[in-house]
Structure 1
Amino acid sequence: MKSVGAIKEKWQISKMKEYLEEHSARDYCLFLLGINTGIKLQELMHLRVHEVNGADGEITEILSLPQYHSPPVYLNRTIRNILKKYINENSLIDTDYLFKSRKTGEPITRQQAYRIINAAAKEAGIEEAVGMTTLRKTFGYHAYIQGIAISLIQKRLHHASPSETIHFIGIDSHLEKIKLNVDL
């Protein structure tokens, strides 16, 4: 099995998003949730509509998943809007899997998710090996670069130590410089 890394270049992420948005709203949402939340693929694929829908019919800002309570999984406005549009346009009901197979109604398989992400990566010109763990690594890498404390990223990724997280997201402490820019 090949080792995969984070997608570090934002322009490559943008290219993947463009490709996925043109090809499939489901696949686009899968990618967005993966890179913006750090949720494990197995848990992501088994999300049901009622887990992202609030009581008021709006997409919830905080996912209430027991394994992700500290820190909680935040869905930003962009993701909430895209999820709402996807759910409405596909007439998904609360008991549906969010990322269901078009053939079976069950969640897409790990292999299908892999094919989706690899096709988008290839289209974006990414030559490095890409896999489903790439989404979590990308989340962790960009959270770290944006100044999120490694301890919070460690908790989200369920790692035992900060050094494990640093290694997982591909940070070379001598090369990556964080800018603590407080621009009041």
Structure 2
Amino acid sequence: MKNIDVQPIRNKKQLKNFLELLKTSSKHGERNRLLFEIGLNTGLKVSDLVKLKTTDVFDHNSLTIYDKSGRLRNVSLNSVLKMLKQYQAILKEKYKGSKWLFPSSTNLDEYLTEKAYYKITHQCGEYLGKNYIGTNTIRKTFGYHFNMQTKDIVQLMNILNYSSQKKTLQYIGLSEEATRASLKDFKLF
């Protein structure tokens, strides 16, 4: 696997195109798109998402997990409840008997691996001429758009579990220069 500089998808139209391609590019498209969309709406890492079981999310408004760093997170699912409900029917039909929310395409007793999902996202990105897309694109895109919408870098640091603003801004693809430029003409009164 080639080492690439994974970036967020900054443009909302390109993001919608990418999500549509995820959905239509394979017979597992609904699974692939939902995984990406849950990440986009929660900021969870792919490593946490792929290990979710159906019992973790169905009939719940929130999800409690321990992330990779061992930190307990309570994540609201309100923004994805409708999608989860629709996917539940697909899951019962296509992936009968699997306990995993995102089952492997080849073995329903296993979850979709991060490596397999990387291939899926990267191939879709390359098809669209975006060779910077990988599994971290999900979380970076969440962070980028959360920051652009809320301008609350402290809250974003908490969500992403980062201890410095500089590292957080680097992670979501915003340079210090962009931050300085946005403040260049700022004047309160």
Q: Deviations over 1:85-138 (max 9, x none)?
A: 1122221689711111122120111221011111221233324x2221111111
Pair 1:147-2:150 in alignment? yes
| Identity of matched residues, % | 28
- In 1: Cα distance, 2:150 partner to 2:167 partner: 18
How far residue 27 of structure 1 moved from its aligned partner, in angstroms, is 0.5
3-state secondary structure, aligned to 1:63: strand
- Provide the residue aligned with 1:63 in structure 2: 63
The answer on whether the counterparts of 1:49 and 1:97 sit within 8 Å (CA) in structure 2 is yes
Higher alpha-carbon Rg: 2
The answer on whether the counterparts of 1:50 and 1:95 sit within 8 Å (CA) in structure 2 is no
| Unaligned ranges ≥5, structure 1 | 55-59, 179-184
**CA 1:148–1:76 in structure 2 vs 1: closer, same or farther (change >3 Å)?**
farther
The answer on whether the counterparts of 1:49 and 1:93 sit within 8 Å (CA) in structure 2 is no
Amino acid at match of 1:118: H
C-alpha RMSD over aligned residues: 2.3
Q: Per chain length, whose mean CA-contact separation is higher, i.e. which structure has more relative contact order (CA < 8 Å, sep 6+)?
A: 1
The answer on whether the counterparts of 1:12 and 1:125 sit within 8 Å (CA) in structure 2 is no
- In 2: Cα distance, 1:75 partner to 1:122 partner: 30
Pair 1:28-2:26 in alignment? no
- Provide the residue aligned with 1:113 in structure 2: 117
- Provide the residue aligned with 1:182 in structure 2: none
TM-score (norm 2): 0.79
Q: 1:47-126 counterparts in 2 under 5 A? A: 47-54=52-59, 60-67=60-67, 72-77=74-79, 79-91=80-92, 96-105=99-108, 106-126=110-130
- In 2: Cα distance, 1:126 partner to 1:13 partner: 11
**CA 1:154–1:94 in structure 2 vs 1: closer, same or farther (change >3 Å)?**
farther
Amino acid at match of 2:35: L
- In 1: Cα distance, 2:85 partner to 2:97 partner: 12
The answer on whether the counterparts of 1:4 and 1:131 sit within 8 Å (CA) in structure 2 is yes
Amino acid at match of 2:6: V
The answer on whether the counterparts of 2:7 and 2:140 sit within 8 Å (CA) in structure 1 is yes
TM-score (norm 1): 0.81
The one of 129, 134, 139 equivalent to 1:136 is 139
- In 2: Cα distance, 1:31 partner to 1:123 partner: 17
Amino acid at match of 2:84: L
**CA 1:160–1:175 in structure 2 vs 1: closer, same or farther (change >3 Å)?**
closer
| Unaligned ranges ≥5, structure 2 | 184-189
The answer on whether the counterparts of 2:58 and 2:84 sit within 8 Å (CA) in structure 1 is no
How far residue 148 of structure 1 moved from its aligned partner, in angstroms, is 4.7
- Provide the residue aligned with 1:57 in structure 2: none
